[in-house]
Amino acid sequence: MANDIGLLSFGAYIPRARLQRKVIADANAWFAPALRGLGRGERAMANWDEDAITMAVEAARDCLSGIERTSIGALTLASTTHPFDDRQNAAIVATALNLNPALRSMDVGGSLRAATSALTAAIDAAAGGTTTLLAAGEHRLAKAASTQEMQYGDGAAALLVGRGQPVARLLAAHTETIDFVHQFRGRDRAHDYAWEERWIRDEGYMKIVPAAVSATLKAAGVEAGAIDHFCMPCTLARVTPALAKRIGIPEAAVRDNLAAVCGDTGAAHPLVMLAAALEDAKPGQRILVAAFGEGCDALLFEVTDALPRLAARRGVKGALARRKEETQYQRFLAFNDHVNLERGMRAEVDKGTPLTVLYRNRDMIEGLVGGRCRSCGTFQYPRARYCVNPACNALDSQDPQPFSDLSGKVMSYTADVLTYCPDPPAYYGMIQFDQGGRMMADFTDIDGSKLEVGLPMRMMFRIKEVDPSRGFVRYFWKAAPADN
């Protein structure tokens, strides 16, 4: 493995709302009293306008902070909960990030190993000169009063893989592909079905993972005792420490799986844990990542001297710090369509999306690209033929100007209790961008008591509307408080 190939950057995103597990346990105690044993800590809860795509976009933006995007030659989106079955989800991410259209793009799913398998492929592609942005996002549904409802969490992570000055280089990787079914979700089902825990532990994790890890360590010529960080997602208590002991990995190397503060983010979780490990790692340390599911992927990385020089990013720690306690279990059920709410007549409008309009304006809608006047430098959104500067009014002088990464402030706002909103009231208003230009935008992740004129805001990629008749999801950009 070439020394200049590896992870060039990383990023993460975890939704702001954290549903308290005690609330879940208390609400279902009449039916499933045993859930009280799992009623500690909190799980990340996606807002109604978040899904695997929007979270992956935010993780990718964090990963690409301060990095030129023109070098990216491939984009992979890994998830077991892609919003679309027949529309490439990765293409939506690419448009939102304003990546070069001359781009290889791919959706990867079907297993909790989706992200780590895609990571191995990205490193192989780097040997041929391709820089790959790998994003993984997950928004898994679980039945009410289930252990999965307690254990799951929503979130995303992203890695930039290629040649250059990697913050971590791959020493070795190995995959065991075995059709051991510990859980599954059928084509027409909304929820996962899990098998008996002892069987999964004894016949699955304890036999399959050591084989993959041992082969990886042997290929790298590294002793198990030399591992500094061991990242392996597992919702079964004490399995990861037991595996580390069997393999010979030091107990101190076992990474926190973030169960108490986030929950298991499915296919994205190996990358989330890897990003968390990179935030703590020092040059020369070794990070072992293992992902279980129909076999096991194991990848061994060595941290380089480039890591301390990587520009600061929000990462896992920053995402966890961006937190709001959620105690309304009913809101969680409603956001995930687990209750049939009476949404009122204002919700009964046709939400069909003209696909011709979406295509012709895709950079403006999904990429939030406005204009910048070549004559006077004025920013404006949306882009138009005439410059809005009354002192200029130049014709056809607009160059494309992305607004998604620009900072802004609230110029005016409204809290509307009459229009339909899945999480009323609907907040929206005028955003004045610090660099120039303004736009009317929906607000998201708002604390009404803290909303005021002049509040710093940032743009976030979110769901605008869902068309229940056709199953189409429409995306756009919303404004959120900058300190959230």
What beta strand segments (E) does 88-198 contain?
A: 104-108, 132-138, 155-163, 168-177, 183-184, 193-194
Distance CA 174, CA 190 (A): 32
> Residue 12 phi/psi, 5° resolution?
-150, 160
Token representation of residue 166: 């990697």
pLDDT for 331-356, tens place per residue?
Answer: 999 999 999 888 888 888 888 899 99
pLDDT at 344: 84
Spell out the residues 6+ positions from residue 165 whose beta carbon is closer than 8 angstroms to its own.
4, 8, 304, 306
Length, in residues, of the chain: 484
The residue whose two tokens read 């049939």 is 340
Structural contact between residues 240 and 290, judged by C-beta atoms closer than 8 angstroms: no
What beta strand segments (E) does 155-270 contain?
A: 155-163, 168-177, 183-184, 193-194, 229-231
The domain ranges of the chain are 5-194+259-277+304-335, 345-368+403-481
Structural contact between residues 113 and 266, judged by C-beta atoms closer than 8 angstroms: no
pLDDT for 162-174, tens place per residue?
Answer: 999 999 999 999 9
Provide, rounded to the nearest whole percent, the portion of the chain with pLDDT above 90.
94
Angle CA 376–379–381, to nearest 5:
140
Question: 368: closest CA among 87, 50, 51, 97?
Answer: 97
Distance CA 81, CA 178 (A): 22
Provide, rounded to the nearest whole percent, the portion of the chain with pLDDT above 70.
99
pLDDT at 343: 86
Structural contact between residues 480 and 428, judged by C-beta atoms closer than 8 angstroms: no
Least confident of 6-15, 315-324, 342-351, 449-458: 342-351
> Residue 274 phi/psi, 5° resolution?
-65, -45
> Is the pLDDT score of 77 beyond 90?
yes
Structural contact between residues 295 and 110, judged by C-beta atoms closer than 8 angstroms: no
Distance CA 164, CA 484 (A): 33
C-alpha torsion angle, residues 315, 123, 248, 233 (rounded to 10):
50
pLDDT at 346: 81
Fold of the domain built from segment(s) 5-194+259-277+304-335: Peroxisomal Thiolase; Chain A, domain 1 (3.40.47)
Helix (H) or strand (E) holding 47: none
> Residue 272 phi/psi, 5° resolution?
-60, -45
DSSP class of 449: G
Token representation of residue 289: 């990542």
pLDDT at 349: 85
- CA-to-CA dists, residue 325 to 58, 153, 319, 322, angstroms: 21, 14, 14, 10
Helices (runs of H) and strands (runs of E) counted in the chain: 13, 22
For domain 345-368+403-481, the CATH class is mainly beta
Residue 3's pLDDT band (boundaries 50, 70, 90)?
confident
pLDDT at 479: 98
Distance CA 127, CA 286 (A): 21
pLDDT at 394: 96
pLDDT at 132: 98
> Is the pLDDT score of 392 beyond 70?
yes
Q: How many CB atoms lie within 10 A of CB 128?
A: 8
pLDDT for 289-347, tens place per residue?
Answer: 999 999 999 999 999 999 999 999 999 999 999 999 999 999 999 999 999 888 888 88
Spell out the residues 6+ positions from residue 307 whose beta carbon is closer than 8 angstroms to its own.
167, 168, 278, 281, 282, 283
pLDDT for 219-276, tens place per residue?
Answer: 999 999 999 999 999 999 899 999 999 999 999 999 999 999 999 999 999 999 999 9
The residue whose two tokens read 């690409």 is 64
What does the mean pLDDT of the chain come to? 96
DSSP class of 367: S
Least confident of 84-88, 299-303, 353-357, 477-481: 353-357
> Is the pLDDT score of 188 beyond 80?
yes
Predicted TM-score (pTM) of the model is 0.96
Question: 44: closest CA among 61, 59, 65?
Answer: 59
Question: 152: closest CA among 288, 19, 309, 9?
Answer: 19
Residue 95's pLDDT band (boundaries 50, 70, 90)?
very high
Distance CA 264, CA 256 (A): 11
pLDDT for 359-383, tens place per residue?
Answer: 999 999 999 999 999 999 999 999 9
What beta strand segments (E) does 103-142 contain?
A: 104-108, 132-138
Q: Is 52 left (phi over 0), alpha (psi -120 to 50) or beta?
A: alpha
> Is the pLDDT score of 201 beyond 90?
yes
> Is the pLDDT score of 139 beyond 90?
yes
The residue whose two tokens read 């597990």 is 21
pLDDT at 383: 93
Strand partners, 254: 230
pLDDT at 14: 98
pLDDT at 400: 96
Residue 1's pLDDT band (boundaries 50, 70, 90)?
low
Residue 2's pLDDT band (boundaries 50, 70, 90)?
low
